[in-house]
Structure formats: C-alpha cells, structure tokens
Amino acid sequence: MNTPVCVIVGPPGAGKTTVGQLVADALGVGFADADAEIEAVAGKPIPEIFIDDGEEHFRALERSAVATALDGFAGVLALGGGAILDAETRKRLVGHRVVYLSVELADAVHRVGLGAGRPLLALNPRATLKYLLDQRRPLYTEVATIVVSTDGRTPEEVAAEVTAALNSP
C-alpha cells in the first residue's frame, strides 16, 4: 500500500501548497493538494461547494479525499487548513509524517490578503483568521511529527528545512 512521504498541514497562508510542491520536487515525488482533489470530485470550486452545499457537505468530501490519499498516494500531500478539525482525519494521520507549517497572524494576513476565494474568511478576514489560528493550533500540534515556522521566510527556505527534516533519521 502506498502512503504519503509526508502530509503537510497548517492554516490558510502557511504555504502548504507552495512549500509542498517544492518539497515534492526536491524529493523527486508527486504532489497532491486535497482541496484540488475535492474540487475535481465535486466539479466546482470550494467556494461554490460552501455556497451551494454547505460546509458540512464540503467537510464530508474532504474527509473522503484525505482518506483516499492517505491510503494510496505516495508523494507529498497538502491538506486544507480545516481538515484536521475532523477527529477521524486526525486519527488517520497517526503513523504518518505530518509537517505542520506554522504561521502567526501578521504573516497569515499578509499572505491571504482579504481572503478572496476562501469561504471562511469572507467576513472580517483578520478576526476570522485569528480565530481559526487560535482554534486550530492545538490540533495541528497534536497531529504533527515535524513543526516548521514559516514567519518571515521564503517558501524555498521553509521547503529546505522540511526536506532536511524528512531526510534525517
């Protein structure tokens, strides 16, 4: 059974997709983004899933996409920021190499801007992002086997640290 080389988690603005692609390239493996898989299955962008079908439906699609990837994808897998809210997903992550890309509010706000295309940040992005960071940080820490701070760093610097951590025994 194939399993991911690593799973990348973190809040919006942490750089999961960008860093994940760089790490996958450095390791010579494929890259998958759970959110992209969800959009492919649903046939529409995540904001439309939220609007048309609701967050609960999106989370069910997310849970399924993550489970499928954890059981069969052999590259670097990036999860959506809220995937770790699901207890079943957190349980499935046990035994995997999980990289938590941490980011503080100032950098996250700078990176996500005003939340365009991010349904949970549509109203009062700064306050909502602060709430999400505070709410989710303990869950990211719970599932993580490697924690890398992204604040004030380029994606290349972060990817180099992640790659080095994955290559160390």
pLDDT in tens, 69-116: 999 999 999 999 899 999 999 999 999 999 999 887 666 666 565 445
DSSP structural state of residue 145: S
* pLDDT of residue 169 exceeding 80: no
Confidence of residue 66 (pLDDT cuts 50, 70, 90): very high
Amino acid at residue number 31: F
Return the pLDDT at 85.
92
Q: Where are the domains of the chain?
A: 6-167
Q: What is the mean pLDDT of residues 29-36?
A: 95
For residues 5 and 27, give the distance between their C-alpha atoms in angstroms, rounded to a whole number: 9
For residues 167 and 157, give the distance between their C-alpha atoms in angstroms, rounded to a whole number: 15
Return the pLDDT at 112.
60
Element (H, E) at 7: strand 6-9
Stated pTM of the model = 0.88
* Tens-place pLDDT, residues 113-167: 544 545 445 556 667 778 878 889 999 999 999 999 998 899 999 999 999 999 9
For residues 38 and 135, give the distance between their C-alpha atoms in angstroms, rounded to a whole number: 23
Return the pLDDT at 96.
96
Q: What is the mean pLDDT of residues 22-47?
A: 94
Return the pLDDT at 108.
66
Return the pLDDT at 125.
65
* CATH classification number, 6-167, choose in 3.40.225.10, 3.40.50.300, 3.50.50.60, 3.30.470.20: 3.40.50.300
* pLDDT of residue 19 exceeding 90: yes
